[in-house]
Amino acid sequence: MKNEKTRTMVEVAMLSAIAVVLMLFEFPLPFIAPPFYELDFSEVPILIGAFALGPVAGIAIEAIKILLNLVINGTITAGVGELANFIMGVAFVLPASLIYKHKKTKKNAIIGLVAGGVIMTVAACFINVLVLLPAYGKAFGMPMEAFVQMAAAIHSSIDSLTGFALLCVAPFNILKAVLVSVLTILLYKHISPILKGRR
């Protein structure tokens, strides 16, 4: 039992480290959202860990990833951005892993990833409008209208924060959910036996 707990802790630490490294390789999607929105694949090892080790392990990996990134890169939002990212990450990982834990089949994994992606996208829209954009605006001395104008340069129909959320934030997170989910499905069957102690 003690060896199993130690193994799980080591695996959580390892997956957290991989997630932090992947978080460093982020890139913008200027055809969807303003350039300060950047995509990374750090949720892939977190989802793999949550599927193999359980939802609690997934949340732990997400938390450690955010804390390590905070130590490495610091913050420009007094931690608000990092907290919001944690909430959005959990909104994706927790539903996905809970559904998969109920019945561990590929079909349930896909259903879980779709559910998690939808919940993350909805959470991202609200969090961006209510928390993140005001925090970034305060940090950089920018009015909310400046963010709307940046979004309008991509989608001319955007004239409010609601439009920003629906036409920039939502598509960005949907694309992220799809890409992360596909990678997770492709990699999980190869990595999970190692995490579960089978070769």
**Residues of the chain predicted below pLDDT 70:** 1-2, 196-199
Beta strands in 59-193, from DSSP E residues, in sequence order: none
Tell me if 45 sits within 8 A of 18, measured CB to CB.
yes
What is the pLDDT, as a whole number, of residue 96?
97
* Beta-strand runs (E) in the chain: 27-28, 38-39
Q: How far apart are CA 60 and CA 68, in angstroms?
A: 12
The per-residue pLDDT for 197 is: 65
* DSSP secondary structure letter of residue 132: I
The model's pLDDT over 123-168, given as tens digits with 9 standing for 90+, comes to 999 999 998 899 888 888 889 999 999 999 999 999 999 999 999 9
The tokens for 135 are 């925090």
Q: Answer yes or no: pTM beyond 0.85.
A: yes
Give the per-residue pLDDT at 199. 39
∠ CA 178-40-80 to the nearest 5 degrees? 110
Closest CA to 61 of 7, 53, 152: 53
Given this model, what pLDDT does residue 192 score?
Answer: 79
